[in-house]
Amino acid sequence: MQFVIVTGMSGSGKSCAMNVLEDIGFYCIDNMPPQLLTKFADICRHSNGQLERVAIAVDIRSGEMFSEIFDRWKILRENKDIDVKILYLEANDEIIIKRYKETRRKHPLDDKFGSCLHKAIAFEREQLSTLREVADYYIESSYLSTSQLKEEIKGLFLEKNSDSMIIKVMSFGYKYGVSTEADLVFDVRCLPNPYYIKELRAQTGCDHEVRDYVMSFQQSCQLMDKIKDLLDFLIPLYVHEGKSQLVVCFGCTGGKHRSITFTELISDYLSQKGFRVQKSHRDIGKDISYYRT
C-alpha cells in the first residue's frame, strides 16, 4: 500500500499537490491530526484493496498535535505492509508572504504571532525541520507555475504522464440533445446511415455488421484518420496543461450506429496508445422507431 504524507510550509502548494494526487487515483485526506495516522493506516490495510493509494496532508494547522508527526511516521515505517513516503513542499519567505497577500488568507499561525508573517514563517520552518531532513520527495515551488508544480508531482507518482488524464469517449444522438459535458464534439451525421439498411436498423455500432458497413465508405475512413491525427496532436497538449479529464463525443442522429462505431474504434485506438479510457454510449437504449437524417 502506498501511503504518502504531504507536508511542508504553508503557502508552498500542498493543496495543489493534494488535488493532483486525487486526480491520479489517490484517496486523499487534508489536515489529519498526526495521532490518527497509524489508526487510519490500519483501516487501509483491512480495506480489501479499496485503499491501496493514500495521501494525507499533515502540517502546522494541527497546532500542538503536530509535534507527534515524527514519532507516528517512525511507527508507520516499521510496518512492512505499508510503503510510507513523505512529500515535502518548500517555498522561500518572500514568495510565501506574496502568496498570502495575493489570496488574502490568514496564515495558520497568524493569531499566535499577532499577524506577523515573518515570525509565523520562521516558527513553522523550525517545527518542520525534522520532517524536511527525512523527506523522500522534496519540491521547491517558489518559482514554479501551477502547471509546472502539477507536472513535478505527476512525475513522482506516475509511471507515465498520460496516466494523469482520463479520456471519456461517448456517443450520443442529436435528436436527444448535444452532450453538455463534451470538450470535443465530432458530428458524424455526414456519413451514410445504417438505419436505412433493413438488416442493420435494429443493431448498433457495437455490432460488427454495423461497424463494417459504416467503415466500408472511403469518407468514413478518411474522417477516422483525420480525427486520429487531431487527437494525437491535442491530447499531449491537454496533458501538459494539467487537464484531468477529456470528454470526446461523437454524435449522429439517434446515437445508435455511426456515433457508436466511431466511439468504439477511437476508444480502442486510444487504449492501444496507453491512455486511460472510459467508454460510454449515452443513447444506445433509447427508441429507434423513427428519426430523420
DSSP-assigned letters across all residues of 76-128: HHT-TT-EEEEEEEE--HHHHHHHHHHHTPPPTTTTTTTT-HHHHHHHHHHHH
Per-residue pLDDT at 290: 42
pLDDT tens-place string over residues 228-258? 999 999 999 988 777 778 899 999 999 999 9
Other CB atoms closer than 10 Å to residue 55's CB: what's the count? Answer: 24
**Is the per-residue pLDDT at 270 higher than 50?**
yes
Q: Are 82 and 1 in contact (CB under 8 A)?
A: yes
- Between CA 270 and CA 71 the distance in angstroms is 46
**Residue type, position 10, single letter:** S
Other CB atoms closer than 10 Å to residue 207's CB: what's the count? Answer: 17
Q: Are 44 and 168 in contact (CB under 8 A)?
A: no
Contacts 24+ apart (CB under 8 A), 103-112: 107/10, 107/11, 108/10, 108/59, 108/60, 108/61, 109/10, 109/60
pLDDT tens-place string over residues 94-136? 999 999 988 878 899 988 889 899 999 999 999 999 999 999 8
- Between CA 99 and CA 104 the distance in angstroms is 8
pLDDT tens-place string over residues 208-229? 999 999 999 999 999 999 999 9
> Which of helix, strand or coil describes residue 220?
helix
Q: Compute the residue count for the chain.
A: 293
* Whole-prediction pTM: 0.63
Per mean pLDDT, which range of 110-119, 153-162, 256-265 is the poorest?
A: 153-162
- Between CA 235 and CA 48 the distance in angstroms is 34
Q: Quickly tell me which residue has 450506429 as its cell.
A: 257
For residue 290, CA distances in Å to 129, 234, 256 come to 70, 36, 12
- Between CA 81 and CA 69 the distance in angstroms is 20
Which among 21-25, 153-157, 205-209 has the top mean pLDDT?
A: 205-209
Helix (H) or strand (E) holding 13: none
Per-residue pLDDT at 158: 80
Which residues pair with residue 276 across a beta bridge?
166
Helix (H) or strand (E) holding 18: helix 14-23
Per-residue pLDDT at 292: 40
